[in-house]
Amino acid sequence: MSIPPRSESTSARTRPTNNATEITVDLGQRSYPICIESSATGRPDESGFAGRLRAALGDCTHAIVIQDAAIATSAGQQILDSLAGEDIRISEIEVASGETSKSTDRLAELWSELLDCGADRRSVVIAVGGGVIGDLAGFAAATFTRGLRFVQVPTTLLAMVDSSVGGKTGINLPGGKNMVGAFWQPHLVWIDTDFLATLPRREYLSGLAEVIKYGVIEDAPFFDYLETNIAAILEREPQTTRHAISRSCQSKARVVADDERETTGRRAILNYGHTFAHAIEATAGYGVMLHGEAVAIGMQMAASLGVDLGLCSDELLRRQTALIQAAGLPRSWAEADPAKMVPVMAHDKKVAHGKLRFVLPQEIGSVGLIADVPQEKVVAAIRSWSDR
């Protein structure tokens, strides 16, 4: 199956002002801004978090801040402080860090906590944390009373460049990643790059895997930029890092605006490497391998599969491998076991008519959605980046 090309009419709109960038996710009446700022959360004027919240929601008298327990005294506190002068009742809910919180048990507790704090359809859920908090809180918002308004405040690089944008929310099942969820768009994405200052290096690198993904799937000049500037990004040099975040958000906003619910196939490109990655995460045990680490290895497996099928060149694989290595990400997983991974891959959400479909590279900046891949080639791709 071929992937529809980028639509010219639904490109993300970008408005840079001073040291801030605003990108619009164009979804008609459900359009929303991604505000990329630095040191701006507490500003008392309309450019601070509270001002942007007022502008995005209008009437809001109750905010429920659902935050990662590990950042409750830092980013979470900044968000709470920024709302202190507002005429808004605040409820706080903490969620333990880590992938295991994306579970049916934690979701059920969260529904009860929302009930207990008096959440109703005029409330807003504000998710403060990484992708785990955004996915979990977003799904709770989508389902409680059939829908609460929702705002994303990403505090990890991965959440800033990927999970906070686009409205995919959900939880894991033991047998598969993100198997239960909903498309539920936020009203606002607030990115304050200062939050990255406390992010551990391993988590920062994990986010870089999704950044590299955008270069491979639809932005070849950005891939070139990353090759040249990876050292500055690793040092978290402010301007370079901001550029990488904003370019990633532009890619994501463009793809989501083209195919919000992954119906035409265009949005499936964001799943590059993920058929393998999700099987790696599930078979390793959730939380053992970080999502971005699994995506890096999954992209390697996908590129090897592409080479094997004659879809792309060895040179593409060489460049991708070099960038992943330069970014300090793993390229292989010694324990990757096809016998365990292939059955998990059967639950991939891109399966159609009982057949797996893989997002595979054609050239840097372009991928295709490929069905009818012989299983022995899938096994060989897994083995080429494992010890088995």
Binding-site residues sit at 97-102, 131-135, 155-156, 168, 177, 195-198, 210, 274, 291
Catalytic-labelled residue, pool 242, 247, 267, 350: 267
Nearest distance from residue 261's CB to ligand NAD, in Å?
13
Nearer to ligand LNCXM5UN, 29 or 263 (CB): 263
Site string for ligand NAD, 79-98 (x = CB under 6 A): ------------------xx
Residue 94 annotated as catalytic: no
Catalytic-labelled residue, pool 187, 242, 254, 278: 278
Task: Quote the CA–CA distance of 77 and 108 in Å, as a whole number.
Answer: 25
Which tokens belong to 94? 């903490």
Q: The dihedral of CA 256, 326, 75, 178: what is its sign?
A: positive
Nearer to ligand LNCXM5UN, 70 or 269 (CB): 269
Q: 173 to 202, contacts with ligand NAD by CB under 6 A? A: 177-178, 195, 198-199
Task: Quote the CA–CA distance of 388 and 386 in Å, as a whole number.
Answer: 5
For residues 270 and 255, the answer to whether their CB atoms sit within 8 Å is yes
Nearest distance from residue 350's CB to ligand LNCXM5UN, in Å?
7
Quickly tell me which residue has 């619910």 as its tokens. 261
Residue 109 annotated as catalytic: no
Task: Quote the CA–CA distance of 170 and 139 in Å, as a whole number.
Answer: 5
Interface with ligand NAD, residue 223, by CB under 6 A = no
Q: How far is CA 252 from CA 23, 150, 230, in A?
A: 10, 19, 20
Residue 254 annotated as catalytic: no
Catalytic-labelled residue, pool 213, 242, 247, 252: 252
Task: Name 21's Cβ contacts closer than 8 Å, sequence gap at least 6.
Answer: 14, 15, 35, 36, 242, 246
Interface with ligand LNCXM5UN, residue 210, by CB under 6 A = yes
Interface with ligand LNCXM5UN, residue 178, by CB under 6 A = yes
Give the number of other CB atoms < 10 A from CB of residue 342: 15
Residues in the chain: 388
Binding test (CB under 6 A) with ligand NAD, winner from 65, 158, 381, 382: 158
Amino acid residing at 198: T
Interface with ligand NAD, residue 163, by CB under 6 A = yes
Calculate helix-pair angle for 291-308, 314-326, nearest 10 degrees.
160
Number of residues that bind ligand LNCXM5UN (CB under 6 A): 11
Binding test (CB under 6 A) with ligand LNCXM5UN, winner from 52, 168, 247, 266: 168
Task: Quote the CA–CA distance of 388 and 380 in Å, as a whole number.
Answer: 10
Quickly tell me which residue has 């980028």 as its tokens. 6
Q: Which of 85, 84, 67, 64 is nearest to 76 (CA)?
A: 67
Residues contributing to the annotated binding site for NAD(+): 97-102, 131-135, 155-156, 168, 177, 195-198
Task: Quote the CA–CA distance of 57 and 152 in Å, as a whole number.
Answer: 13
Residues serving a catalytic function are 146, 168, 210, 252, 262, 267, 271, 274, 278, 291
Residues forming contacts to ligand LNCXM5UN in the complex (CB under 6 A) are 162, 166, 168, 177-178, 210, 267, 270-271, 274, 349
Query: Under the rule (CB under 6 A), what is the footprint of ligand NAD?
Result: 68, 70-71, 75, 97-99, 102, 129-133, 135, 155-156, 158-159, 162-163, 166, 168, 177-178, 195, 198-199, 203, 206, 291
